[in-house]
Structure 1
């Protein structure tokens, strides 16, 4: 699969995620894909289990992609995942095999107030 095809698949995946289209969102994964959340120590095996775990979440979710970077079989998406109005700055690392995601790792970071010690060098992004 060429890079432009993977980028297109990623754009469709994140758009489906934002639309809560659980069927389209999970087409990108291999049947035996693995999803890891290192911060909570969770590993989910299998596309249907990944899909079911996301469907079961009670939160209202929104996805805002900031950028997608990658080449070949390794792609990174930097996005804001908003749960019930609260943003979490997120990085998804996807490893592709045969044109589908074989492994994904997601890292989450909550927003925090800027430190006053850096103020003279900082440009606020809000």
Structure 2
């Protein structure tokens, strides 16, 4: 099995460059993509690639952290468009051939913290969070 972290870094580089052939080469035929927050699931390489090709807007991706062991990898990225910047956490499972077989992605919405913990926390700008 190839280095799982390198596989995910290559995946994000393919997303960034919109190189769908390169991305497709990393995916199992029966890859499953989960979006728990919207309760959506996409099954199969072709459908997942089409989903990405047709996604609206021009997004840029920067990788903050990738870590993995065995056949599992997690990544923390920031996706940026003209209008917004969103952090995301993505979990990848790879099959025996080293291909990505399951992707589970969380796109948390930024929010203001509730009052009452100001004495315990330090606030920082969003851009600083990426260098943590």
Q: Normalising TM by the smaller chain, what interval? A: 0.7 to 0.9
Find the residue that maps to 1:58 and give its secondary structure: coil
Aligned twin of 1:28 = 26
Runs of 5+ consecutive residues of structure 1 not aligned to the other structure: none
Moved over 4 A (4+): none
- Normalization by structure 1: what TM-score? 0.87
Q: Residue 108 of structure 1 corresponds to which residue in structure 2?
A: 107
**Separation in structure 1 between the aligned mates of residue 23 and residue 83 of structure 2, nearest angstrom:** 21
Instruction: Quote how far apart the aligned CAs of 1:26 are.
Output: 2.8
**1:36, 1:42 within 8 Å by CA — same for their partners in 2?**
yes
Matches within 5 A, 1:57-76: 57-76=55-74
Cα distance change on mapping 1:14 and 1:113 into 2, 3 Å: same
Query: Unaligned regions of 5+ residues in structure 2, if any?
Result: 126-132
| Structure 1 residue 73 displacement after superposition | 0.8
Q: Give RMSD over aligned pairs.
A: 1.7
Alignment coverage as a number of residue pairs: 124
* TM-score, normalised via structure 2 length: 0.83
Secondary structure in 2 aligned to 1:40?
A: coil
